A and B are shown apart, each in its own frame.
Chain A
Amino acid sequence: MIDRIKALTERELAAIFLSFIAYVVGVLFLLVTGMLFTFETLTEGGEATMRPLFDHMSWLLILALPLITMRMISDEYASGTVETLMTAPVSDAEVVLGKFFGTFLFYVALILSTLVYVVALAMFSKPDLLATAYGYLGLLLLGALYASVGLFASSLTRHQLIAAVLAIAILALFSYAVDYLAMIQGGAWRNTLSYINILHHFKDFSKGIFDTKAIVFFVSSTAFFLFLCVKVMESKRWR
């Protein structure tokens, strides 16, 4: 099983690195974060912390990761490669996991390249490295969840663009819309709505707090969306 997931992961990574969109997304992400870092964080007398940049990344990634995942499953169905894939001895879950790890590894590479900012920051000041490490841990968990939502959206449609819009909509709903809903809805709903807010859980990490509750939230919701994705693929066989 591990060998097959590994092979599928390599295939996805190759597809990502051979696609034009991955470079566009990567370059834009680094360009925007680089500008934000230069003009906001790297200022004279500014606070030596990555926290504002982490918070910027959390919404930038809502746009970036769905663009990476959008074609992953939708295109298998649109191009018909799903037929050769699903008649080879691999399970639906292995296919989804391969795609997930492929996306995640690309994401890790993207996030690692932002370590340059930490190095730049450390050259001029003394940032809290442990807090920064927690921030990066939070980014990894956040990216995993975004990737799983993106894959889920991609499994729902044959059209890449619809998959991207759908994923961005779901992520925006759980990041921003729930905040607004919590504000207008009082009482018991408020706790639930604030629990399912992705960014609330992420903010702990970007502040530099190690929060096991948030880890549980990210890991379980990532697993949940991957599970949904497998179920959608299974249900497609019956149609």
Chain B
Amino acid sequence: MIQVKNLTKAYGDRVAVNGISFHIDEGEIVGFLGPNGAGKTTTMRMITCFMPATSGSASVGGHDVFTESMQVRRVIGYLPESTPLDIHLRAREYLNFRGKIRGLSRSERAAAIKRVADLCWLGEFINRPIHQLSKGMKQRVGLADALLHDPKVLILDEPTVGLDPTQIRETRNLIQELAKRHTVLLSSHILPEVEATCQRTIIIAGGSIVASGSPDELKTRIREGSRLIAELTGDAAAIEKAVKAINGVKEVARESDNGWHRFIIETNKNADPREAIYKLATENKWSMRELRLEAGTLEEFFVRITAEQAAQRKAAEVRS
């Protein structure tokens, strides 16, 4: 449904999106994950025909975004990050206008507005001027607009940013509901967000795709950098030696405080020596008050990725 090939966008010297390629099949719900400034919004803007690519191509529903812009726009429902709306209008008037420019007839508009108002729980707020609505309600009006023409493809840029926890949950449920009928591409900078809603995630950092796959696959990749924390009492040197001998342990660091020793244990990929450590502790009668796997966070993952990218770039520069 969405095909992106070597898409690049440069603002002057700064490359915002650097030759990314991916495709999204019909009916898929795909999350675009990345830190702020990674190029998510720029990519979405190119797919939605808001700005042309510097090079590369993209097509939606078989139509090229550059040469068949109008066909692409008909297929897409787009919710930009800042949810821009005509704030002086009432929600109903705004949706009516949007229906008109999308070429819906009077009766089609009436039916469509009723449908999206129910879907997005606009309720009585539909008759309020938009400038009086809360951020969450505005977001719903924006979403209602994106759904108005029952588009095949929904592109949602940070759909839950700025919402309260209840609204976030409601919006997630709604998006999952929508995924049954539409192909969805949504962006986020929060992992649980994408985990909760998407079948597939594309991680983008520094304008390039750094990883993609199902949430589970990505979780394993993100955990590569995980650490164990263990707090024990006993002979610190002996413990350290014993722990180091466990299969899969790469490095052990130690902090001591008031008789308790806190060990920070770096492990090899996919190794989990927690059970071994517990056994060790019971055999040697060391008291233990903590033993946990500190999963690598998305932030750490991004930091690692961007560091790798910087190193690669440096290496490339040295070579040239």
| Distance between Cα atoms of A91 and B101 in the complex (Å) | 10
Q: Which residues of A contact B85 (CB under 8 A)?
A: 81, 84
Closest to B48 in A: A87
B residues whose Cβ falls under 8 Å from a Cβ of A: 11, 45, 48-52, 70, 73-74, 76, 78, 80, 82, 84-89, 93, 97-98, 100-103, 142, 145
- Residue of A19, A82, A86 near B88 (CB, 8 A) is A19
Q: Which residues of A contact B87 (CB under 8 A)?
A: 79
Q: Which residues of B contact A120 (CB under 8 A)?
A: none
| Residue pair B102, A88 in contact (C-beta under 8 Å) | yes
Q: Which residues of B contact A19 (CB under 8 A)?
A: 88
Summed over the interface, the residue pairs from A and B with CB atoms below 8 Å come to a total of: 71
Q: Which residues of B contact A18 (CB under 8 A)?
A: 88-89
- Residue of B49, B82, B102 near A80 (CB, 8 A) is B82
| Residue pair B86, A15 in contact (C-beta under 8 Å) | yes
Q: Do A89 and B103 contact each other (CB < 8 Å), given the known contacts A10-B97, A18-B88?
A: yes
| Residue pair B89, A3 in contact (C-beta under 8 Å) | no
Q: Which residues of A contact B86 (CB under 8 A)?
A: 11, 15, 81
What's the nearest-Cβ distance from chain B to residue A93, in Å? 12
| Distance between Cα atoms of A10 and B45 in the complex (Å) | 27
Interface positions, chain A 1-53, Cβ under 8 Å from B, are 3-4, 6-8, 10-11, 14-15, 18-19
Q: Which residues of B contact A87 (CB under 8 A)?
A: 48-50, 73, 76, 78, 80
Q: Which residues of A contact B80 (CB under 8 A)?
A: 80, 83-84, 87
19 A-B pairs (CB sep. < 8 Å)? A4-B103, A8-B101, A14-B88, A18-B88, A18-B89, A79-B84, A80-B80, A80-B82, A80-B84, A81-B85, A83-B78, A87-B50, A88-B98, A88-B101, A88-B102, A89-B103, A237-B50, A237-B51, A237-B52
| Distance between Cα atoms of A61 and B73 in the complex (Å) | 39
Q: Which residues of B contact A15 (CB under 8 A)?
A: 86, 88
Q: Which residues of A contact B73 (CB under 8 A)?
A: 87-89
Q: Is A216 an interface residue (CB 8 A)?
A: no
Q: Which residues of B contact A238 (CB under 8 A)?
A: 51-52
Interface residues of A, dominant DSSP:
helix
Q: Which residues of B contact A10 (CB under 8 A)?
A: 97, 100
Q: Which residues of A contact B100 (CB under 8 A)?
A: 3-4, 6-7, 10
What's the nearest-Cβ distance from chain A to residue B98, in Å? 7
Q: Which residues of A contact B145 (CB under 8 A)?
A: 84
Q: Is A213 an interface residue (CB 8 A)?
A: no
Q: Which residues of B contact A181 (CB under 8 A)?
A: none
Q: Which residues of B contact A3 (CB under 8 A)?
A: 100, 103
Closest to B96 in A: A7
Closest to B76 in A: A87
Closest to B129 in A: A18
- Given contacts A7-B101, A10-B100, 18 further A-B pairs with CB under 8 A are A4-B100, A4-B101, A11-B86, A11-B97, A14-B88, A14-B93, A18-B88, A81-B85, A83-B50, A83-B80, A83-B84, A84-B85, A84-B145, A87-B78, A89-B70, A89-B101, A89-B102, A237-B50
| Distance between Cα atoms of A48 and B102 in the complex (Å) | 52
Closest to A98 in B: B101
A14, A80, A88: residue with the most chain B Cβ atoms closer than 10 Å: A88
What's the nearest-Cβ distance from chain A to residue B252, in Å? 52
| Distance between Cα atoms of A80 and B78 in the complex (Å) | 13
Interface positions, chain A 204-238, Cβ under 8 Å from B, are 237-238
Closest to A79 in B: B84
| Distance between Cα atoms of A7 and B99 in the complex (Å) | 9
| Distance between Cα atoms of A80 and B70 in the complex (Å) | 20
What's the nearest-Cβ distance from chain B to residue A202, in Å? 34
Closest to A10 in B: B97
| Residue pair A89, B74 in contact (C-beta under 8 Å) | yes
Q: Is A126 an interface residue (CB 8 A)?
A: no
| Distance between Cα atoms of A19 and B73 in the complex (Å) | 30
What's the nearest-Cβ distance from chain A to residue B297, in Å? 31
What's the nearest-Cβ distance from chain A to residue B8, in Å? 14
Q: Which residues of A contact B98 (CB under 8 A)?
A: 84, 88
Q: Which residues of A contact B49 (CB under 8 A)?
A: 86-87
Q: Top 8 closest A-B pairs, CB basis? A: A7-B100, A80-B84, A81-B84, A89-B73, A87-B48, A83-B80, A18-B88, A80-B82
Closest to A6 in B: B100
Q: Which residues of B contact A84 (CB under 8 A)?
A: 78, 80, 84-85, 98, 142, 145
